Chains A and B, each alone.
Chain A
Amino acid sequence: MKKTLFDKVWDSHVVKSIENGPDVLFIDRHMVHEVTSPVAFLGLNNRGIKVKYPERTFATADHNTPTINQHLPVEDPLSANQLAALEANAKEHGVSYWGLGHEKNGVVHVVGPEYGITQPGATIVCGDSHTSTHGAFGAIAFGIGTSEVEMVLSTQCIMQPKPKKMRIKVEGTLNKGVTPKDVGLYIISKLTTSGATGYFIEYAGQVFEDMTMEGRMTVCNLSIEMGARGGMIAPDQKTFEYISGREFTPKGADLEKAQAYWDTLYTDEGAEFDREITFQGSDIEPMITFGTNPGLGMGISNSIPTAADLDAAEASYKKSLDYMEYHEGEAMLGKKVDYVFIGSCTNGRIEDFRAFASVVKGRKKADHITAWLVPGSHQVEAAIKEEGLLDIFNEAGFELREPGCSACLAMNDDKIPAGKYAVSTSNRNFEGRQGPGSRTMLASPLVAAAAAVTGVVTDPRELI
């Protein structure tokens, strides 16, 4: 039978299929962080059992950690307590823990690929919806709830029905100033935030073939924002080169065996999808969101659509624009910006900081802008320094913070104040996502940089 990439990976991990019920799916690698794991560990302790495969489990602290003065004790007692709980749980269960101050610490979906935990053809889960990031390597990777974290810790399996399959092709090439983030935001704006619910996506076509591994991660990361369980891209030479030699990548004879499996990871000619959609890369502009869900985005030079244009429910759409204090028909260009955030598992990797630097180089940060530059990991932080990007940032009036999720979900002190506008390279613009009352415009690192130096929403194509 002809199989899709998704079929091949899923089917090879099914331990048991329950009739008119879920599959029992074996999980190769499980990433754990401080926020969604404590209750799961508590469950294990109550049952009097240990983590079944500690060597398949990796813990890092990121959601709740400060991004300045990480060498000092964490001030917020609740956050400190959660971090201490993860450390204690990891120790008790023999799980490796990359806590605050550890050289490998960073955002879970940034460090996973960096250390080769992420591999083609693997099943990877984490109690965080953006686990879909790892799909860039041809893995089946998705976010799970805490009950499922407990299941994986205790049995290395979860129980889920097999999702339907969707293929999204983007053909042709991208225009100048258009980044992988724009590709993701463009697709979500076309599909809406529920358009891929119930599906697992495979991205294909020239645009993804040409894309770097980091770009592929950005797009796969955003899969969840269209409602999909996850998104994946068939591994190719670029993938194999990226993972080669990393700490947890197989070596020697193991590598040969693994490579033989990896070489089978593509969608067979003629395999069927439940839904297929094709876009043209040349239709995509730098994107920006204007509402309170990631589907409410548009090309940066357009004007805010009406409820009728979008076929949206009037009351909910109005609520969204009211929250932003925007109106139908207005242009986004020239809108006031107070904060700029570059970071997160969507755009917190080195290529994102290079893109940011390419715009701010030789310019100055606008006076009224508060900018938070937060690397996704210590590796990214080190590369920023080594490549001389930090000098460019400092010269332009920017400072670099320490790694973590930061203003992506604003669990730590990095909160955008009520009523303020942020251009953010993260993935969610929900009401209050970046702090109670905060207003978020999602965009690429280039758009963020253009806003940071001009102080308003600006088309980056004018600056590059």
Chain B
Amino acid sequence: MAYDKFTVLESTAVPLPIENVDTDQIIPARFLKATERKGFGDNLFRDWRYNSDDSPKKEFVLNNPTYSGKILVGGKNFGSGSSREHAAWAVYDYGFRCVVSSFFADIFKNNCLNIGVLPVQVSPEFLDEIFKAIEADPNATLTVDLPNQKISLNTTGTSESFEINDYKKGNMLNGFDDIDYLMNMGETISEFAENTPL
């Protein structure tokens, strides 16, 4: 599915300084019953965000109007657990375009890249600095510059470069997805399949 192009994003950020945030927290299994990709943002972090009677939990960061923005900053090992792309959809659908952490689980990272959410891995020290800056000033902004592979904390001017492979970078910059690419090599794949027994 094609998505909006990603070039440079400047935004305030929402801090979630918890380690090992798993996909069951991002979107609990009972909300995976849809047959269309719609409405997942409402249930992002459902059980941390709402009580069992659906009233919001005031202390959870998404219910705190002080924090907003298109960037989610999470603790180490973000997105561990299931392969459900619904987790990445929920993040996107809620309005985030970028997740920053010092470490990402593999499948979640891959899923994000496939749907137009940019995972940005920073050093543990820089992550710490970002959390502190947001805590000190919720209006602090980050700039995520994909063409230059650089993320900056604008209040202090500190920045770090981040990694992304050229192919995925090109996709994000242009809003392309892998299927477009693979469909264009249909014949090569068919030939390969013929020589590959079932």
Residue of A13, A15, A131, A159 near B178 (CB, 8 A) is A159
Q: Chain A contacts of B12 at CB under 8 A?
A: none
Contact B189 A316 (CB under 8 A): no
Interface size class of B (residues with CB under 8 A): 35 or more
Q: Chain A contacts of B103 at CB under 8 A?
A: 194, 197
Q: With A28-B196, A82-B35 in contact, do A160 and B110 touch (Cβ < 8 Å)? A: yes
Instruction: Give the contact stretch, choosing among A175-183, A377-385, A427-435.
Output: A427-435
Q: How far is the CA of A156 from the CA of B153 in the complex (A)?
A: 42
Q: With A28-B198, A147-B1, A313-B19 in contact, do A193 and B77 touch (Cβ < 8 Å)? A: yes
Q: Chain B contacts of A397 at CB under 8 A?
A: none
Is B95 on the interface with A (CB-CB < 8 A)? no
Q: Chain A contacts of B88 at CB under 8 A?
A: 145
CB distance from B127 to the nearest CB of A (A): 12
Contact B81 A313 (CB under 8 A): no
Instruction: Give the contact stretch, choosing among B24-32, B64-72, B144-152.
Output: B24-32
Interface size class of A (residues with CB under 8 A): 35 or more
CB 8 Å contact bits of A41-60 with B (1 = contact, 0 = none): 01100010000110110000
Instruction: Give the contact stretch, choosing among A250-258, A327-335, A353-361.
Output: A250-258
Q: How far is the CA of A175 from the CA of B103 in the complex (A)?
A: 36
Q: Chain A contacts of B33 at CB under 8 A?
A: 35, 64, 76, 78-79, 81-82, 411
Residue of A36, A147, A197 near B177 (CB, 8 A) is A147
Q: How far is the CA of A160 from the CA of B113 in the complex (A)?
A: 11
Contact B35 A293 (CB under 8 A): no
Contact A38 B167 (CB under 8 A): no
Contact B193 A53 (CB under 8 A): yes
How many A-B pairs with Cβ below 8 Å?
200
Is A16 on the interface with B (CB-CB < 8 A)? yes
Contact A436 B28 (CB under 8 A): yes
Contact B25 A430 (CB under 8 A): yes
Q: How far is the CA of A372 from the CA of B47 in the complex (A)?
A: 25
Q: How far is the CA of A256 from the CA of B37 in the complex (A)?
A: 45
Q: With A15-B192, A39-B35, A198-B106 in contact, do A151 and B22 touch (Cβ < 8 Å)? A: no
Instruction: Give the contact stretch, choosing among B55-63, B154-162, B179-187.
Output: B179-187
Q: With A145-B111, A198-B106 in contact, do A42 and B36 touch (Cβ < 8 Å)? A: yes
Q: Chain B contacts of A18 at CB under 8 A?
A: 167
Q: Which residue of B lies closest to A319 (CB)?
A: B18
Residue of B81, B85, B115, B196 near A428 (CB, 8 A) is B81
Q: How far is the CA of A197 from the CA of B81 in the complex (A)?
A: 11
Is A127 on the interface with B (CB-CB < 8 A)? yes
CB distance from A16 to the nearest CB of B (A): 7
Q: With A43-B1, A150-B179, A159-B182 in contact, do A144 and B165 touch (Cβ < 8 Å)? A: no
Q: Which residue of A lies closest to B166 (CB)?
A: A20
Q: Which residue of B lies closest to A55 (CB)?
A: B198
Q: How far is the CA of A436 from the CA of B24 in the complex (A)?
A: 10
Q: Chain A contacts of B85 at CB under 8 A?
A: 36, 39, 127, 145-147
Is A227 on the interface with B (CB-CB < 8 A)? yes
Is B76 on the interface with A (CB-CB < 8 A)? yes
Is A390 on the interface with B (CB-CB < 8 A)? no
Contact A428 B52 (CB under 8 A): no
Contact B24 A431 (CB under 8 A): yes
Contact A147 B114 (CB under 8 A): yes
Contact A151 B179 (CB under 8 A): yes
Q: How far is the CA of A329 from the CA of B20 in the complex (A)?
A: 22
Is A229 on the interface with B (CB-CB < 8 A)? yes
Contact A436 B165 (CB under 8 A): no
Q: How far is the CA of A154 from the CA of B180 in the complex (A)?
A: 10
Q: Chain A contacts of B167 at CB under 8 A?
A: 18, 20-22, 159
Contact A38 B36 (CB under 8 A): yes
Q: Chain A contacts of B18 at CB under 8 A?
A: 315-316, 319
Q: Which residue of B lies closest to A248 (CB)?
A: B198
Q: Chain B contacts of A258 at CB under 8 A?
A: 197
Is A129 on the interface with B (CB-CB < 8 A)? yes
Residue of A38, A161, A193 near B165 (CB, 8 A) is A161
Q: Which residue of A lies closest to B184 (CB)?
A: A155
Is B174 on the interface with A (CB-CB < 8 A)? no
Residue of A36, A158, A194, A409 near B105 (CB, 8 A) is A194
CB distance from B55 to the nearest CB of A (A): 14
Point out residues on B near A: beta carbons under 8 Å. Answer: 1, 17-20, 22, 24-25, 28-30, 32-37, 47, 52, 75-77, 80-86, 88, 103-107, 110-111, 114-115, 165-168, 177-179, 181-183, 185-186, 188-189, 192-193, 196-198
Contacts A21-B167, A56-B198, A163-B106 aside, 9 further interface pairs with beta carbons under 8 A come to A21-B165, A82-B33, A82-B35, A155-B182, A155-B186, A159-B182, A197-B103, A418-B52, A431-B24
Point out residues on A near B: beta carbons under 8 Å. Answer: 13, 15-16, 18-22, 24, 26, 28-29, 35-36, 38-39, 42-43, 47, 52-53, 55-56, 63-64, 76, 78-79, 81-82, 85, 127-129, 131, 143-148, 150-151, 154-161, 163, 193-194, 197-198, 227, 229, 250, 254, 257-258, 293, 312-313, 315-316, 319, 409-411, 418, 428, 430-433, 436-437
10 examples of A-B residue contacts, CB within 8 angstroms: A18-B167, A39-B85, A128-B82, A150-B179, A193-B77, A197-B77, A229-B107, A316-B75, A436-B30, A437-B52
